[in-house]
Structure 1
Amino acid sequence: MRRILAALGRYPVITATVAVGIIAAALAGAGLSAWATGITTAYVSAIVVWTIIGMVRDVMRGHVGLDVLAVVAMVATLAVGETIAALIIVLMLSGGEALEDYAGRRATRELTALLDRAPQIAHVRRPGAGDETRDLPADEVAVGDELLVRPAEVVPVDGTLLSEEASFDESSLTGESMPVTRTAGETVLSGAVNGSRAIRVRALRRSADSQYQQIIALVRAAQESRAPMVRLADRFAIPFTAVSLAIAGAAWGLSGDSVRFAEVLVLATPCPLLIAAPVAFLGGISRAAKAGIIVKGGTVIEQLARARSAAFDKTGTLTQGRPVLVDVRPAPGIDPDRLLAWAASAEQYSAHVLADGIRRAASARGIAVEAADDAHEEATNGVTAVIGGRRVVVGKPAYVAALAPDTTLTALEAGHAAAYVAVDGRFAGALVLADGARPESRAVVRWLRGHGVERVTMLTGDARPTADAVAASVGVDEVHADLLPAEKVHLAAMMTPRPVLMVGDGVNDAPVLAAADIGIAMGARGATAAGDAADAVVLKDSLTKVAEAVAIGRDTLRVAYVAIWIGIALSVAAMLLATTGLVPAVIGALGQEVIDLATILYALRALRGRPFDLSDRGTTGAVDDAHAHAPAGSVPAEAE
């Protein structure tokens, strides 16, 4: 009973329409047909006025939609005395919203599941509490707190594993169905489900800064975003309205019976157009979430479907993002281990991916890092830190040379990168690292080229020799290297054909991800700044998901268009049949509900789509549209 009352309160127009219908039927049964007609007419007229007010507001905002057909149909049925048909049209319109709501909940079930699984409680052990634990809200956990995570519980915050070994289900984070094993000292992400043994974890971040909460924020943004559903339907609004009125007018003119006009128009109501696209786009968003890709709204789905150019960052995007130290080249008189110790101590304050490789190399050699008295990072250039009274600078050669004029360049093999080090204004040496291309990068680039992406380029801040080597290995033939973040933004803005897809990770990619038509962040490692700026976030550390996101966009837009055309075709066929007088207005109004149901059922196909196959080289694979992209052009080969 409670559910029924809740449903009645959720859809007041449906409730009121049914109530008016029951009252009118009771009055007609009691011989008070005039009262029944009067009440029905007054109610439908009120709905017409309310709809017209909404239409006027939309027109004042520059938006002309499909509501005019519904208004004309209701007025026409009232004018010819078909009050029951008019009431059914109102019920159909409001029922269409209810059907859309139901289908929307069905389509967004993956997003809702992510929200429902958000960790709420943490079992915290704090000094002085002995072996006892206290249950606290997850958002009250402080960095450094020791947490107990029981079997099958969700890890509440990002942390470091203190137990010797543990197994986790990270499917909600990465889409990976197989459990993963972590050992002591490794990072455990919030949202992962613990295995069969209780474990201890030390909190690395507060709840609001942890991986799962970042995903939750993205999911909420996706749910609250309005897809281009109405805009997509409105592309058909004027022609569909014109065709419907022409058929209805012709039926009236040829038959001389004004009732025919109403009988045709009850089948021209725009529910199929208004419902089909929203359901399809919500289904696409949910399908992407299930695949480990959080898409921030239907507009992004549509842009993904139309992508004509793709730009990639190099480090951590086309490459694995885990550079390995291959050589230490100290300046004369500098001990190699001392050089590595200085560099690792400074790089602990850097978020750059090369810094992680240097820190791991120092740890593997048993070299302890020292705390800095002062440290600051200049994004994309390097880091400066005061270590043991010495000013240590680590970064690009130009950045280091500006502070240490005796800096000399070191010879590098293809695919290698170097971090230069200066101490107290003198060049101390260089550390050479190698970061191999992701094994899937070449296949992803090939897939994009075979599915309508005409131009693929690399935008990177790394040196040209390294960038060229990686580009050649993955099949990218256009490279822009040694770029600052502002230069990346400039090049992305100039790139054609559009829309332009930009893929990157890390804080320094946030500006270009925000500036691109579609920004995709490789967010598996918690690059929250990039995730906030991007339109979509890949939760699994695999570039394959970028191609899959484009495939989902293409499938979703295709389903949306087909569903709309199904609705149009069925409506036009029913209208033509109604011109013969064989379809009474009441039957026509009920028949329109069948058309609504058909379009919704087809639109829900976006939940499944075609199985993704990276080996499918395609042909063009693009969704044709006259407004999809601008004429092709080019950007300069080198950044100014």
Structure 2
Amino acid sequence: MRRRTSLPRLPWLVVITCVVITATILLDAAGAGAAAQRLATAYSLAVAAVQAYGMLRDIRKGHWGVDLLALMAILATAATGEYYASIVVVLMIASGQALDDFASARAQTQLRALLERAPRAAHRVMEEERDQDGTDGAPAGGAIEDVPIDDLRVGDLVLVRPAEVVPADGTLTADSATLDESMLTGESLPVDYVRGAHILSGSLNGADALTLRATATPAHSQYSRIVALVAEASASRSPTVRLADRFAVPFTVFALALAALSWVLSSDPTRAAAVLVAATPCPLLIAAPVAFLGGISRAARAGIIVRSTQALEQLARARSVAFDKTGTLTSGTPLVGAIVLAPMAAPLTEDEVLGLTASAEQYSTHVLAAAIIAEAARRGLALHPASGAQEFATDGVRAEVAGTTVAVGKRRFVERLVGPVPDPPLSPGETAVYVGVGERFAGCILLRDALRGTAPSTIRSLVALGVREVLMLTGDVEATARPIAREAGVDTIHTDCLPGDKVEIVRNLPERPVIMVGDGVNDAPVLAAADVGIAMGARGSTAASESAEVVITVDDLAKVGEAVLIGKRTLRIALQSIGIGIGLSLVLMTGAALGLVPPLAGAFGQEGIDLLTILYALRAARAPRSGARGSTDAGRSAHG
């Protein structure tokens, strides 16, 4: 939205105008009519001058708004001595702009969450403390130097402690590492690396410390590139024209023509002033902001925070919706999908194998361990105490449970204890946890990131609401993403996407406006670049929530469709309110042109029209009648 002129903060402008009106009335009552007229006229002309300056700047930029009529009304009433009408027009303008700006206020803080998460310091390993054999490894003793993040240089050896964010891109020098890359790729499953692997900044380290050799400074690493993408995308988002301005040119031309005609035919300039006062576009200035405020309030009660009126309007007109996969279309948390018992597991049952596995996993910090324990709890299985539990970084856990040795983890880890194990029947998107009990292979526990139950119905509702293209953007491989997309009902998918790839895809979509729905730091740039970004804020990252125009505060994907529905209903009521206001204004303007309505009566008549349009626009704040929900609203257009 284009910026307004540098008037005082608009609520204060309303207060100041009310004070001037009060002072004018008191001066008139005290018999100082000339002083009252000078005060009201001077104040009105001062406001008009600021309006004129801003209006000329907007015209040079190609923006024609309804402000011209308001300016002409102030000048005409001041010139004809109708100073009360003049100052009432100023009050109407101030009130309308205050409502508009309040409804459109947007917190410009999308970079804050990203910057707050970025590490401020790094643990640099002093070069003289390398291992004696010349290889890089964990430093001996306390040979650690904490330095500001900007002091890291290419070639520095860096220690990353457990649960810390990797500060710079680099080559892994530790034997192995397990990293959570969900903030970069959006994918929930941890990634295992071995010595020599390339590690990206912004990754979250697992349970064991690691060392890496920096291959880029923090300023030129992956996480900084994400921050830069958010800033660039936010700055490049196209402005939205104020809804009322779309009616400005025809309404302004008609009002000016009618004022000129009434002056010419009656030779009375007061009639022209009365027409302009009656034409003061307060229904245009007020009706839409009130309707959008109501829609924003209605959305908030549904757990949907809409940060600007433009976002609500863009929701109503959306033609494309792009979804992130992990944490958005899917739950974002690995779930146990199946337990495959090995033939030699007998007489153990599925529940017994799961119970033994969960008992051993109690002592693991791995994300898959939490999923297995949760499944055991869901089945009501009691966990046994374990002794001698050992976690082998990136490989698995071994513990003594109920008098027997239980090994849980990767295939090669379990094979070292029980011998060769067969391949499990893995479907795309699944991962296997291998289980050994005693000296035999007991089987596999298969986990996957499951599709949200509401995903298919949400996509169907969006199509019913007029969305023409639904896409899925993911950092995952196609073999994993395709089954999820098919199950959700999404035909178009883009896989192996980094944050910059998602931004380019969204920018190049032909069907606009575009909604992007995501939840992670990696989604922050594309949420900022989309016409409307929707963040699943209940469990998503703060960065995603700060970059989005819309934040869903409950963990319910169906709220995406509800947000679009609220946007459509709000826009429809706003347009209807504007239509009612313009129609009544035309009746009032005609009376003023015929000499039936003097300027001051026209000003108060406009206040009455404002009240009617406000009351109608407030319908947007109420929930629709049950019969008006669902397919009825979905089938209507925004202009219905």
Same fold per superposition (TM over 0.5): yes
Count of residue pairs the alignment pairs up: 468
* TM-score under structure 2 length normalisation: 0.61
Secondary structure in 2 matching 1:581:
coil
| Structure 1 Cα separation of the partners of residues 273 and 512 of structure 2 | 45
Secondary structure at the counterpart of residue 452 of structure 1: coil
Q: Which range is displaced more, 469-478 or 12-21?
A: 469-478
Which residue type is aligned with residue 598 of structure 1?
A: L
**Post-superposition shift, 1:283?**
1.6
Does the CA contact (< 8 Å) of 2:364 and 2:391 recur in 1?
Answer: no
8 Å CA contact 1:296–1:535 kept in 2: the answer is yes
Give the secondary-structure state (helix, strand or coil) at the position aligned to 1:266: helix
Change (3 A) 1:500 1:34: closer
Q: Is the 8 A contact 2:336 2:445 kept in 1?
A: no
- Equivalent residue, structure 2, for 1:478: 492
Q: Please give the per-residue CA displacement for 1:341-364, whole angstroms capped at 9, x wherever unaligned.
A: 8996998366xxx67525635886
Give a deviation string over 1:462-484, Cα, whole Å, max 9, x none: 45455443333333333344545
Please state how far the C-alpha of 1:247 moved relative to its aligned partner.
1.0
1:310 to 306, 309, 321: 321
CA distance in 1, matches of 2:387, 2:49: 74
Per the alignment, residue 48 of structure 2 pairs with 48
Matched AA of 2:279: A
Alignment of 1:112-123 (within 5 A): none
State how far apart, in whole Å, the 2-side matches of 1:461 and 1:342 are: 33
3-state secondary structure, aligned to 2:278: coil
Change (3 A) 1:327 1:513: farther
Residue of structure 1 equivalent to 2:612:
598
Asked whether the 8 Å contact 2:533–2:550 carries over to 1, the reply is yes
Q: Does structure 1 residue 85 correspond to structure 2 residue 85?
A: yes
Q: RMSD across aligned C-alpha pairs, in angstroms?
A: 4.7
State how far apart, in whole Å, the 1-side matches of 2:512 and 2:387 are: 47
Indicate the residue corresponding to 1:537 in structure 2: 551
Contact 2:97–2:285 under 8 Å retained in 1: no
Distance 2:410 2:327 in 1: 18
1:503–1:74 Cα change, 3 Å: closer
The answer to whether the Cα contact below 8 Å between 1:578 and 1:584 also exists between their aligned partners in 2 is yes
Question: C-alpha deviations, 1:510-532, integer Å up to 9, x for none?
Answer: 44433333222223235434323
Query: Which one-letter code corresponds to 2:77 in the other structure?
Result: T
Cα deviation code 1:122-153 (max 9, x no counterpart): xxxxxxxxxxxxxxxxxxxxxxxxxxxxxxxx
Range that drifts further, 497-506 or 37-46? 37-46
Cα distance in 1 for partners of 2:462, 2:13 equals: 48
Report if aligned partners of 1:552, 1:609 keep a CA contact under 8 Å in 2.
no
- Structure 1 residue 320: deviation in Å? 4.0
Match of 1:326 among 335, 338, 353: 338
Which entry has the higher C-alpha Rg, 1 or 2? 2
What is the match of residue 574 of structure 2? 560
After superposition, the Cα gap between the structure-2 partners of 1:321 and 1:343, relative to the gap in structure 1 and judged at 3 Å, is farther
SS of residue in 2 equivalent to 1:458: strand
Map residues 400-549 of structure 1 onto 2, 5 A cutoff. Answer: 411-413=425-427, 417-418=430-431, 432-549=446-563
The CA distance in 2 between the partners of 1:297 and 1:513, in whole Å, is 15
Moved more, 582-591 or 535-544: 535-544
8 Å CA contact retained: 2:14, 2:94: no
Deviation, 1:446, is 1.5
Q: Distance in 2 between matches of 1:396 and 1:302?
A: 53
**Could you give the per-residue CA deviations for residues 249-307 of structure 1, whole angstroms, max 9, x where no partner exists?**
11112223222211111111122211222222222111111001122222221221111
- The answer as to 2:267 corresponding to 1:250 is no
Structure 2 CA distance, aligned partners of 1:365 and 1:104? 55
Code of the residue aligned with 2:631 in structure 1: it is: D
- The one-letter code sitting in structure 1 at the alignment partner of 2:505 is L
SS of equivalent residue, structure 2 residue 242:
helix
Aligned in 2, Cα 1:18/1:58: closer, same or farther, shift over 3 Å?
farther
- Closer, same or farther in 2 for the Cα pair 1:306/1:283, shift >3 Å? same
Q: 1:17 aligns with which of 4, 21, 31?
A: 21
In structure 2, distance between residues paired with 1:587 and 1:504: 53
Please show how residues 270-289 of structure 1 align to structure 2 within 5 Å. Answer: 270-289=281-300
Aligned partner of 2:349 in structure 1 is: none
Q: Determine the C-alpha separation between the residues in 2 that align with 1:369 and 1:345.
A: 11
Contact 1:328–1:340, Cα closer than 8 Å, also in 2? no
| Structure 1 residue 348 corresponds to structure 2 residue 365 | yes
Separation in structure 1 between the aligned mates of residue 421 and residue 84 of structure 2, nearest angstrom: 88
Unpaired runs of 5+ in structure 1? 1-6, 109-226, 376-383, 398-405, 423-428, 626-640
Q: Does 1:299 align with 2:313?
A: no
Q: Structure 1 stretch 316-325 or stretch 52-61: which is displaced more? A: 52-61
The 5-angstrom pairing of residues 62-461 of structure 1 reads: 63-94=63-94, 96=96, 100=99, 231-322=242-333, 323-327=335-339, 348=365, 356-358=370-372, 360=374, 366=383, 411-413=425-427, 417-418=430-431, 432-461=446-475
* % same residue: 47
Contact 2:532 2:548 in 1 (8 A): yes
Shift of the 569–228 alpha-carbon distance from structure 1 to 2, 3 Å rule, reads farther
The CA distance in 2 between the partners of 1:277 and 1:609, in whole Å, is 18
SS in 2 for 1:236: helix
| CA-CA distance at 1:372 after TM superposition | 10
CA shift at 1:459, angstroms?
2.7
1:409 Cα shift? 7.6
- Contact 2:397–2:408 under 8 Å retained in 1: no
Q: Read off the aligned partner of 1:18 and give its amino acid letter.
A: T
| Amino acid aligned to 2:616 | Y
- Contact 2:525 2:547 (8 Å CA) reproduced: yes
Q: How far off is 1:588 after superposition?
A: 1.0
Decide whether the 8 Å contact of 1:276 with 1:603 is kept in 2.
Answer: yes
Q: Where does the alignment leave 5 or more consecutive residues of structure 2 unmatched?
A: 1-10, 106-237, 346-352, 399-406, 413-419, 436-442
Contact map agreement 2:424 2:444 (CA 8 A) in 1: yes
How far apart, in 1, do the equivalents of 2:68 and 2:390 lie?
Answer: 69
Instruction: Give the conservation status (yes or no) of the 8 Å contact 1:304–1:550.
Output: yes
* 1:307 and 1:453 in contact (8 A); partners too: yes
- Per-residue CA deviations over 1:393-423 (Å, capped at 9, x if unaligned) read 99999xxxxxxxx999854247x5115899x
Other-structure match for 1:26? 30
Deviations 1:12-35 (A, max 9, x none): 12111221133134326xxxx555
Alignment match, 1:166: none
Further displaced range: 537-546 or 37-46? 37-46
Q: Give 3-state SS (helix, strand or coil) of 2:30's partner.
A: helix
CA contact (8 A) 1:104 1:279 kept: no
Following TM superposition, by how much is the alpha carbon of 1:593 offset from its aligned partner in structure 2, in angstroms? 0.8
Amino acid at match of 1:623: A
Give, in angstroms, the shift of residue 326 of structure 1. Answer: 1.9
Contact 2:464 2:634 in 1 (8 A): yes
- In 1: Cα distance, 2:294 partner to 2:337 partner: 45
TM-superposed deviation, 1:308: 0.8
Contact 1:96–1:275 (8 Å) recurs in 2: yes
